[in-house]
């Protein structure tokens, strides 16, 4: 097989890669419904247990860009196997935890492993696929992202119901073990061998840049994941560390050394900056909706975790279906597909907000789920086509970092959206609060729509 011929095992390799990436993204949301079970099982305070969620989100967001750069430098296969092995091990440690501190530390390490793992997905797609096939592959990646975001509460509810409230939370982590071990076994066989690089890791990794970027992301994420505790003091330092990071990276490039994040990715790569902004704005708008819906139906309507999760299942199914189809159509329709999808999402959330106010109390979950299904179909036309177009012109040696920066924007958007929508829901309260939160989600999706229209015209 020559370098121009596609790898005959590329689709099998993609299936392995996506199954592992799905686990990492699923663990962002699946744990939410298990928090009461953890609190009971470990006799922990609500604040301590909340760090099980917050710590994972922080570690995930902090390690994404470093994971992308390591994949570019050391090879996707090497980083995939190391990160997946770490994720399986830390999942086991979290499930076996006998006290809250052990569980929090395990979740921090698990989040870091997921952050190192996920950039390898987009990097492998860039390496293994070309042309229309790349759009199809990103379509499947978009389906995984959309489904994992919405299906986590459902799966968590099923596991808690099956294993009971006292020990059910442990199986939320143990479920990763058989899937992860199978993925490891197949990854060893199917992932393409890395190209040998004679350079040393200290010559390839910009450690000063990694620290500065990590501090910048931390100062953004920490106030967002702890917004209910009023931790806002790190925000002013974002500008300081961000400025220092950009200055350092430019100096690194001018001196002929390898930067952590080549700033020319934003200035010289057609479509990358606008695509990253669209993705961040969209994740800001749609992911917080699931948190608010869970809070409304469980605390306000008396739904179980499983019943609450079933309300958003139509969104997940619609998103998965549309993402797979959109991946095949992106070459033909391009940015028009994203624009149409964002319009459908905004319309679906608008109708859901109206029904939250006007629908009868009996069967309210079903009434809200119907427009969410339509919104899911629109969402499936956003993530995968936008990812394809954003990474379309990225050079192969920057594919890992480019995908990681894209995901970092999505993580920050998720944190902003969740904090904003939950705050609006709490301030207004009840069915009006749900409608107000959905109205905020629509406004954020319309921001993404405006960016997409502008990019299309440009």
pLDDT digits (tens, 9 = 90+) for 4-41: 677 788 899 999 988 888 888 888 778 877 777 787 77
pLDDT of residue 291: 81
Higher pLDDT pick, 396 / 394: 394
pLDDT in tens, 201-223: 666 677 888 888 888 888 888 78
pLDDT greater at residue 385 or residue 258: 385
Band (pLDDT 50/70/90 cuts) for residue 438 is: very high
Render pLDDT for 319-353 as a digit per residue (tens, 0 to 9). 888 887 887 788 788 889 999 999 999 999 999 99
pLDDT of residue 335: 85
Query: Who has greater pLDDT, 250 or 298?
Result: 250
Mean pLDDT of 93-102: 89
> Residue 187 pLDDT more than 50?
yes
Architecture of the domain delimited by 10-205+260-457: Up-down Bundle (1.20)
Residue 43: CB atoms within 10 Å: 9
Contact 244, 211 (CB under 8 A): no
pLDDT at 354: 94
Quick one: pLDDT band at residue 184, thresholds 50, 70, 90?
Answer: very high
Query: In b/e form, how buried is each residue of 170-207, taking b as 16+ CB within 10 angstroms?
Result: bbbbbbbeebbeebbebbeebbeeeeeeeeeeeebbbe
Between 130 and 199, name the one with better pLDDT: 130
pLDDT reported for residue 3: 53
Q: What is d(CA 93, CA 90) in angstroms, rounded to the nearest whole number?
A: 5
d(CA 257, CA 396): 18
Comparing C-alpha atoms, which of 297, 315, 308, 305 is closest to residue 431?
A: 297
- The pLDDT assigned to 203 comes to 64
Residue 8: the pLDDT is 83
Q: Domain residues of the chain, as ranges?
A: 10-205+260-457, 206-259
Q: What is the mean pLDDT of the chain?
A: 84
Pick from 344, 373, 372: nearest CA to 434 = 372
Confidence of residue 197 (pLDDT cuts 50, 70, 90): low
Least confident residue range of 54-63, 79-88, 348-357, 392-401: 392-401
Contacts of 347 (CB under 8 A, 6+ apart): 371, 374, 375, 378
Residue 196's pLDDT band (cuts 50, 70, 90): low
Reported as a single tens digit per residue, the pLDDT across 63-85 is: 888 888 888 888 889 899 999 99
Chain mean position to CA 313: 18
Q: What is the pTM of this model?
A: 0.82
Give the residue-averaged pLDDT of 302-312: 79
136-140, 164-168, 354-358, 413-417: the lowest-pLDDT one: 164-168
The answer, yes or no, to whether residue 198 has pLDDT greater than 80, is no
Side-chain half-sphere exposure of 100, counting CA atoms within 13 A:
19
Q: Is 8 helix (H, G, I), strand (E, B) or coil?
A: coil
pLDDT for 110 equals 93
pLDDT at 309 over 60: yes
Q: What is the pLDDT of residue 140?
A: 82
Determine the pLDDT at residue 1.
44
381 vs 48, which has greater pLDDT? Answer: 381
Q: Angle at Cα 105 formed by Cα 118 and Cα 211, nearest 5°?
A: 60
Sole residue written with tokens 């624009």: 339
Alpha-carbon gap, residue 48 to 129, rounded angstroms: 44
Is the pLDDT assigned to residue 2 strictly greater than 70?
no
Residue 139: band (very low, low, confident or very high) from pLDDT cuts 50, 70, 90: confident
């Amino acid at each position: 097989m020559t370098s121009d011929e596609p790898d005959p095992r590329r689709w099998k390799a993609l299936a392995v890669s996506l199954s592992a990436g799905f686990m990492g993204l699923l663990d962002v949301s699946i744990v939410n419904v298990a928090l009461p079970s953890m609190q009971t099982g470990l006799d922990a305070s609500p604040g301590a247990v909340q760090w099980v969620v917050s710590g994972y989100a922080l570690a995930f967001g902090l390690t994404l860009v470093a994971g992308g750069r390591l994949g570019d430098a050391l090879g996707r296969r090497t980083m995939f196997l190391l990160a997946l092995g770490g994720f399986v091990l830390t999942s086991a440690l979290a499930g076996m935890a006998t006290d809250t501190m052990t569980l929090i530390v395990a979740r921090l390490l698990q989040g870091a492993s997921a952050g190192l793992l996920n950039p390898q997905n987009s990097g492998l797609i860039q390496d293994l696929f070309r042309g229309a096939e790349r759009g199809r592959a990103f379509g499947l990646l978009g389906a995984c992202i959309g489904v994992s975001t919405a299906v986590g509460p459902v799966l968590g509810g099923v596991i808690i119901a099956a294993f009971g409230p006292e020990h059910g939370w442990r199986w939320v982590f143990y479920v990763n073990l058989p899937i992860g071990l199978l993925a490891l076994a197949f990854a060893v066989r199917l992932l393409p061998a890395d190209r040998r690089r004679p350079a040393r890791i200290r010559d390839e990794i910009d450690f000063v840049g990694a620290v500065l970027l990590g501090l910048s992301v931390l100062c953004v994420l920490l106030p967002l994941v702890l917004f209910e505790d009023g931790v806002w003091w790190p925000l002013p330092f974002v500008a300081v560390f961000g400025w220092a990071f950009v200055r350092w990276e430019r100096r690194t490039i001018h001196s002929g050394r390898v930067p952590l994040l080549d700033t020319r990715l934003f200035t010289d790569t057609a479509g990358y900056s606008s695509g990253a902004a669209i993705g961040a704005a969209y994740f800001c708008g749609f992911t917080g909706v699931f948190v608010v819906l869970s809070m409304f139906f469980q605390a306000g309507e008396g739904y179980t975790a499983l019943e609450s999760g079933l309300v958003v299942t139509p969104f997940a199914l619609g998103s998965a279906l549309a993402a797979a189809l959109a991946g095949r159509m992106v070459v033909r329709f391009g940015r028009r597909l994203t624009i149409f999808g964002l319009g459908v999402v905004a319309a679906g959330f608008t109708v859901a907000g109206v029904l939250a106010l006007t629908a009868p109390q009996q069967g309210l979950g079903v009434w809200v789920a119907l427009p969410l299904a339509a919104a899911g179909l629109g969402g499936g036309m956003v993530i995968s086509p936008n990812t394809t177009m954003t990474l379309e012109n990225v050079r192969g040696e920057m594919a890992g970092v480019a995908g990681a920066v894209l995901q970092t924007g999505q993580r920050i958007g998720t944190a902003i959206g969740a904090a904003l929508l939950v705050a609006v829901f709490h301030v207004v309260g009840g069915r009006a609060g749900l409608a107000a939160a959905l109205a905020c989600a629509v406004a954020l999706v319309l921001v993404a729509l405006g960016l997409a229209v502008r990019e299309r015209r440009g």
